[in-house]
Structure 1
Amino acid sequence: MTAGRDGSPALRPRPRAPQRLLFSFLGALVLDRGYPPISSRVFLHLLGDLGVAEAAGRATLARMTRRGLLTRVREGRTARFSLTPWAEELLREARPRVDSPAPFTHPDGQWTLLSYSMPESRRDLRHQIRARLVWAGFGGLRDGLWIAPGRVDIAAVFQGPEFAELAELADGFYSVPVEGTDVARLLHRAWDVDAIRAEHESFIATWKPDRAVSGRPLSRLTLLGADWLQLLRTDPGLPAEHLPDDWPAAASTALYRERFAALEPAATERLRELLEADAPRR
């Protein structure tokens, strides 16, 4: 194990995309905290502690700026970044599920069905809309037909002027299965249930040992949030009555909430120290 910048043992995270790490950090510790624009030095310090090379960190900040997620301002020789209103909206939309005490639970027997067409003129939106559908809990039953557990706000999925044309071509229904429907088989058609279980088990195996770790709360909280976001994208909240008795979703949720509560105060304090040290000198 190598040493970190402060001499403590360095974290050895499994690979996570730098943008996901920054979304985790910004959503958990920056959004609605009233901080001024944060310098690139703070971002690069955080990413560097997480194994991201400086060049990759700078490229991530530049890419997020081009995509309209960050606003960049120049203060002398220092570049500083803040969330754009659009990015703040995205993070606020995600927050209820991120913070939910039961993010994998829905009212029994309720489902949302969605059918939509992708106009040839808007093929450029294919990836974006699929990402929104997956985050909202949808799995594909067949071409053009998606299903999600619970009652999904379909209007929110297609929110935004760029999706207006798709929204006009979308039809959604709240429904219940016809008696005799093999819901368990349906789950395996729409989702890779084994892969979802594996993601939960990986999350638990990664974060249970964190109880015995000390120090580096900012880096650890950022990693925790990135892994939690990945798990929320993977598991839409499949109904427990159609899953094995030892389904690990409840254990993952309890572990996330425990580790977040343990790490957040010290992570917030560490961030404030970094911001104070990096504040412009008047």
Structure 2
Amino acid sequence: MVQFHSDEVELIYGVNRVKPQSMLFTIYGEYVRHYGSEIWIGSLTKLMGEFGLSEPAVRAAISRMLRQGWLESRKVGNRSYYSVSGRGKKRLEEAAERIYKVDTGVWDGKWCIVSYNIPEERRALRDQLRKELGWMGFGMLTTSTWISPNPLGDRVKELTEAYEIKDHVEIFTAEHQGWSDSKLLVRKCWNIDEINEKYKEFIDTYRQEYEELADKIRHNQEVADSHCFVQKTNLVHQYRKFLFIDPDLPQELLPELWLGKEADQLFQNYYELLNPGAIRFFENVYEAAPSR
């Protein structure tokens, strides 16, 4: 069964306590990228401090992200500012498209298939390709053949060009002729029951919080902006984990009892309640760099 990974997923999936680098991805993706993608380190450490993260831990996480190519830095006087790199922007945009996805309609019945034969001496690249395919939502049909019902061929082309492995990879768009029916094929490539259980856990965790907040708002009770910021950021942070386990299958391929839709609706409703206060708190803390 395929396991979904990426550079950051290993830091967050299945881990209860907040990891600094993982939370940085969430802060940049949910807030900073909408404000020029650059922020003063002092603002960043204050925002991260709301989650109990110390300044040394934040600085260490930033250093790691710089080394990995997710962030870029610049000094203005004695102040340091950090922005999302081109690579980081692309990853955050892809994540946002999937978190705030729009229903694409009826599936056309076509599968995107990726087959590769990468030499053992390039094993590191082979492993990285598998991680990236998992991030995109591909499932492993066989060791070197991965499939997705979504039209991802162009993104795979970009990836293989960037890794300089075009000679070792083939990409197809095809119809499945047999023998498994489509839903059984899905179960061969993804652990649907496990994903469904994760959605149930999400719903069980956040339904009561959402209902309590909605009740406070109905009764005009005050809710602190800092509370909205923490709750909304944690909400997005937890929901972002589904990017690494849910392949975003078309409705036609999902089981009858699928909790993804219910979880998505809960996420959107709770997000809308929290967002105004969270944005006010962020804007109060945020300090951008002077114009370049």
Length-normalised TM-score, structure 1: 0.81
Deviation at 1:108, TM superposition (A): 5.3
Q: Which moved more, 1:180-189 or 1:82-91?
A: 180-189
Say if 2:160 and 2:169, in contact at 8 Å, map to a contact too: no
Q: Structure 1: give runs of 5+ residues left out of the alignment.
A: 1-12
Q: Secondary structure at the match of 2:180?
A: coil
Say if 2:47 and 2:285, in contact at 8 Å, map to a contact too: no
2:107 partner amino acid: P
The root-mean-square deviation of aligned C-alpha atoms, in Å, is: 2.7
Deviation at 1:179, TM superposition (A): 5.5
Structure-1 residue corresponding to 2:264: 253
- 1:95-117 per-residue CA deviation (whole Å, 9 max, x = no partner) reads 322221338x7615332221012
The verdict on how the C-alpha distance between 1:100 and 1:71 changes in structure 2, with shifts beyond 3 A counting, is same
Percent identity of paired positions between Structure 1 and Structure 2: 30
Say if 2:125 and 2:163, in contact at 8 Å, map to a contact too: no
Distance in 2 between residues matched to 1:158 and 1:17, nearest whole Å? 32
Structure-1 residue corresponding to 2:36: 34
The verdict on how the C-alpha distance between 1:133 and 1:16 changes in structure 2, with shifts beyond 3 A counting, is farther
Q: Does residue 118 of structure 1 match 2:118?
A: yes
1:24 partner amino acid: T
Structure-2 residue corresponding to 1:24: 26
Q: Secondary structure at the match of 1:159?
A: helix
The verdict on how the C-alpha distance between 1:44 and 1:114 changes in structure 2, with shifts beyond 3 A counting, is same
Length-normalised TM-score, structure 2: 0.79
Deviation at 1:272, TM superposition (A): 1.1
The verdict on how the C-alpha distance between 1:60 and 1:232 changes in structure 2, with shifts beyond 3 A counting, is same
Structure-2 residue corresponding to 1:233: 244
Q: Secondary structure at the match of 2:204?
A: helix
Q: Does residue 201 of structure 1 match 2:203?
A: no
Say if 1:70 and 1:84, in contact at 8 Å, map to a contact too: yes
Deviation at 1:174, TM superposition (A): 1.9
Deviation at 1:77, TM superposition (A): 4.3
Distance in 2 between residues matched to 1:22 and 1:173, nearest whole Å? 36
Q: Does residue 144 of structure 1 match 2:144?
A: yes
Write the mapping of 1:84-95 to structure 2, written as runs, cut at 5 A.
84-95=85-96
Distance in 2 between residues matched to 1:64 and 1:55, nearest whole Å? 14
Deviation at 1:239, TM superposition (A): 4.3
The verdict on how the C-alpha distance between 1:101 and 1:209 changes in structure 2, with shifts beyond 3 A counting, is farther
Deviation at 1:82, TM superposition (A): 1.3
Q: Does residue 62 of structure 1 match 2:63?
A: yes
Distance in 1 between residues matched to 2:147 and 2:270, nearest whole Å? 32
- 1:69-125 per-residue CA deviation (whole Å, 9 max, x = no partner) reads 11222344433211122212222233322221338x761533222101223343233
Say if 1:196 and 1:234, in contact at 8 Å, map to a contact too: yes
Deviation at 1:162, TM superposition (A): 6.6
Deviation at 1:252, TM superposition (A): 1.5
2:113 partner amino acid: L
Say if 2:109 and 2:175, in contact at 8 Å, map to a contact too: yes
Say if 1:106 and 1:237, in contact at 8 Å, map to a contact too: no
Say if 2:137 and 2:248, in contact at 8 Å, map to a contact too: yes
2:17 partner amino acid: P
Deviation at 1:23, TM superposition (A): 1.5
Q: Structure 2: give runs of 5+ residues left out of the alignment.
A: 1-14, 214-222
Structure-2 residue corresponding to 1:48: 49
Distance in 2 between residues matched to 1:33 and 1:47, nearest whole Å? 17
Distance in 2 between residues matched to 1:279 and 1:112, nearest whole Å? 43
The verdict on how the C-alpha distance between 1:244 and 1:203 changes in structure 2, with shifts beyond 3 A counting, is same
Q: Secondary structure at the match of 1:146?
A: strand
Q: Which moved more, 1:155-164 or 1:75-84?
A: 155-164
The verdict on how the C-alpha distance between 1:89 and 1:243 changes in structure 2, with shifts beyond 3 A counting, is closer
Q: Which moved more, 1:63-72 or 1:120-129?
A: 120-129
Structure-1 residue corresponding to 2:181: 182
